[in-house]
Structure 1
């Protein structure tokens, strides 16, 4: 199947028997094509590129160029059109999904689901996250297990937006509370940032403090939470049985310019750690919008 051209108009997902969905663009094909072609980012704008792309696509959705049920261009096509990396496009699409404009479906692409006004949403506060991380650093102890320069796994390189083969500093630490280990932390930091603190600092100073000393202050964080089974190495470090369930948090920190400055994979014993969010209703309507009270 040939790839759609850069300026292709929006398309609707197919229905049964290959028939087009009843959803149709409210604009003519020509106007839709023109609207997409006109959507460009401004390299001179202080806003990060992924936020500019998200704003352009959101405007196209709200204008009717991409109505509910239509399919947005793929990541590769968008990256080519906006002249950015696919990871930048992915971040923009994730933001649109969180805001309720689209749904990302494997094998079908990114489907427009609405204008973002009626979707029940849970959102976390960056300030609350930072407060929790600082408190954890002050109230617990950490042991440095290993630190080295290495080429990171592909997933981490993508999170840090690094070219393949670019080396980072990887630090493995175990955090304890009153002598009992409860978390296994694997942190990856670009070498130019890691060069501004010592290995000894990793065993004595909270990572957020080290980043700030290195003039890489975190301004944005994106994280996912899932459950995993403990590998033998991690089970030994946390004093649990191999295969025991763990709570895994994967997070990337970015500075005010949008640069990824740290990626971390943290695994926690669920019997000694809980993740809690206090939410406040911010809007009415079915489901409403809920956000972190912090």
Structure 2
């Protein structure tokens, strides 16, 4: 009896089919071949194939109709959220009102060494720590951990943190946000992150670490974030500028924020 699920093969098949669907090789409404034929073509068991199809169905890319077959969805999911690097703060505040947030934890802690250094905290100084998940249309796309110096964190409540963008709360406290520095990388999802972001353990994730500063150069927020790359993108529009022989790429002034993007 065919009962063995091979996780790595299931993910390979899932990625292959998702790529074909998103590239338009399988038009909306297309009925996929039967499971025996697809399993044979992909070189996997039917149970492994079903796992891949279940993941596609969970993401709204296909519809499985009992006794009929599996069809590419007529209405594909919303495009990935995106944020324009040329005007990060405007997008953060605007998208804070357009995405859903779930506050997982809120408290005051002695942060780890890298956060202490980034925020310039004194030995023994606490920080307000919050962990949130952001979603669009019920689909989670980011896992955010923020640290704010305690004296600033005391200006807002847990309920406010659960309902308002942190950037707005910081500005309400009288802080004039001036700049930020950030690093972007990639990692693999561990079991806990995978469960929250609804991906498989070992799935690739984008990472971002951002330190926000006020007009005096004081660090007022440390953010460490994980993003699903299929639901979130970093964007920047560029133009060629400079004199001949010294031409370079420069960021364009941002347009008015539109749907997409994520707050911190």
Shift of residue 285, structure 1, vs aligned partner: 5.0
Answer with 130-139 or 255-264: which moved more: 130-139
Gaps of 5+ in 2: 1-83, 254-264
Provide the aligned C-alpha RMSD in A: 1.9
Shift of residue 135, structure 1, vs aligned partner: 2.6
- Is 2:222 the partner of 1:263? yes
The one-character-per-residue Cα deviations of 1:225-247 (angstroms, maximum 9, x if unpaired) are: 00011122211111111111111
Distance (Å, rounded) in 2 between the aligned partners of 1:283 and 1:289: 6
Distance (Å, rounded) in 2 between the aligned partners of 1:291 and 1:163: 38
TM-score (norm 2): 0.61
Aligned residue pairs total 171
- Is 2:111 the partner of 1:165? no
TM-score (norm 1): 0.55
Distance (Å, rounded) in 2 between the aligned partners of 1:164 and 1:284: 50
Structure 2 equivalent of residue 239 of structure 1: 198
Shift of residue 148, structure 1, vs aligned partner: 1.3
Structure 2 equivalent of residue 251 of structure 1: 210
Answer with 173-182 or 225-234: which moved more: 225-234
Shift of residue 216, structure 1, vs aligned partner: 1.7
Structure showing greater relative contact order (alpha-carbon pairs closer than 8 Å, 6 or more residues apart): 2
Gaps of 5+ in 1: 1-124
Distance (Å, rounded) in 1 between the aligned partners of 2:87 and 2:181: 13
The one-character-per-residue Cα deviations of 1:65-104 (angstroms, maximum 9, x if unpaired) are: xxxxxxxxxxxxxxxxxxxxxxxxxxxxxxxxxxxxxxxx
Correspondence 1:78-157 to 2 at 5 A = 128-157=87-116
Residues 126, 220 of structure 1: 8 Å contact kept: no
- Which structure has greater strand proportion? 2
After TM superposition, where is structure 1 displaced by more than 4 Å over at least 4 residues in a row? none
